[in-house]
Amino acid sequence: MGIRLTVLLVLLRVPSLALPSADRLLAAVGDVTDTTAVLWARGLSEGPLRVGYGPAGASPGATAHLTVTRDRDFTGKIGLVGLRPGTRYAYQIEGGGATASGEFVTAPAPDTPGPVAFVWSGDLGSSGFCRKRDVGYRIFTAMARQRPDFFLFVGDTIYADHRCRGPEVVPGGDFVASTLPEFHRKYRYNREDQALGSFLAATSVNAIWDDHEVRNDFAGSTDSLMPTGRQAFLDYWPILPSAQEPTRLYRSVRWGRLLEIFILDTRQYRSSNSALDGPGKTMLGPAQRQWLIDSVAASTALWKVVVSSVSLSVSTGKTYRDSWSNATVWGIPEENSTGFAVERDAILRAWAARGVKNLLFLVADVHHAELIRHQPMPQFSLHEFIAGPLSASPGRPRALDAALNPRSLFARGGLNNFGLVHVEPALLTVRIVDEDGTVLFTHTIGPE
């Protein structure tokens, strides 16, 4: 059976003086569906990379050549199409005297109720929690042991605005990024970690940004550095936006009959955080907001999972609100505040009116783990699951926004962690796991 291959090279001509610093070729696969995937690579020098891939355990059934260039920091991507649903694939990349190999699994066909397991977390490498010389980012070793089908990297994939310094950390990150080459260097600093590289070689990734890919609490509509940070993010993750919308990051992925994932961009289109909340203030922008409302309401998947880098119910931000919530530190909704609760509540009301059920938000950002059930309206409920950090300053649970009528099922701060979700036809099970692989809490819910 032949395997078709479409090669999509994304070569954005942005000057870069950075030279390759890794001693090995870097690779990752992301945004996998039942028949497609995106393969990303970073070579050691300019020139072609040869890619071979096919079902695991068999000889590569297809080859392609990907050219990487200096102006993209020696990175490039290819789109793989015509893959078989529910199949484990293996790939090998060669070029410049180096090789890289890995595997990924495709989703079941949309009408197949196959089980799925995935992990999620965020927040990697803040000041004081950068790559350690002795163990690196060891949480990815614990994640790899779970053998998930995919990883949702929910924001703060780098800390571009933090310095990594001290004798205990790997050198190379002691600066705040302000140019494209410097943003690239921040990504290389994290991606060259051995544990992270090994994990990405065995697991596909769906990545989205939050604020530290540019700088703390930024709003894309007003921040002059946003396009540079966005370019670096696109350069370093296996995401291929369409030619019609080359900077679009929000997207959805279907995983069989049981699961559809809606990944939000909460940064690029947001109003200034300093603006007072109201009908004119937006975190998503009109187009993304309508896409989210309609796509979730129309989904035929059993579980609808929305990935939001910022929390629905945990109020964040110092001078101004940065998450969806307008609540005070005591959880009381505040009038004339600067959150995004008006937009949040309008979205929830639209879904309630359209009968959406089995809705789950996955979040990171607040540096603690928490499982929450919200019932903002009598006949409408949803869950919000929070995980993280992967390796960042520890946070702590705090009061939840009372406007959502929340009930905290579990909360734990002070440690690095990730969430593990198993979806089966009759139930969904979520576990919070620490960086040693210890399960801290397990919760199971059934579909409505």
231 exposed, middle or buried (CB, 10 Å; 0-12, 13-18, 19+)?
A: middle
Q: Does the pLDDT value for residue 182 go beyond 80?
A: yes
Q: Does the predicted model carry a pTM greater than 0.75?
A: yes
Both tokens of 262, joined, read 């809606």
DSSP state at residue 31: S
The boundaries of every CATH 2.60.40.380 domain in the chain are 1-106
CATH number of 1-106: 2.60.40.380
pLDDT band of residue 1 (cuts 50, 70, 90) is: very low
Do the Cβ atoms of 75 and 42 come closer than 8 Å? yes
pLDDT in tens, 381-395: 999 999 999 999 999
Query: Where does 153-285 have alpha helices with state H?
Result: 180-191, 194-202, 226-236
pLDDT, position 61: 82
From CA 50, how far away is CA 283, in angstroms rounded? 41
Matching CATH number, 110-445, of 3.40.50.20, 3.60.21.70, 3.40.50.300, 3.30.70.260: 3.60.21.70
> Model confidence at 82, in pLDDT bands (50, 70, 90)?
very high
300-317 per-position pLDDT tens digit: 999 999 999 999 999 999
Give 301's DSSP letter: S
pLDDT-derived band at 232 (thresholds 50, 70, 90) equals very high
Longest dimension (CA), the chain: 63
Gyration radius from the chain CA atoms = 21
Evaluate if residue 14 carries a pLDDT over 90. Answer: no
Residue intervals in the chain for CATH 3.60.21.70: 110-445
The DSSP output letter for 402 is G
351: left (phi over 0), alpha (psi -120 to 50) or beta: alpha
Burial call 406-424: b when 16+ CB within 10 Å, e when fewer? beeebbbbebbbbbbbbbe
Predicted local distance difference test score (pLDDT) of residue 22: 52
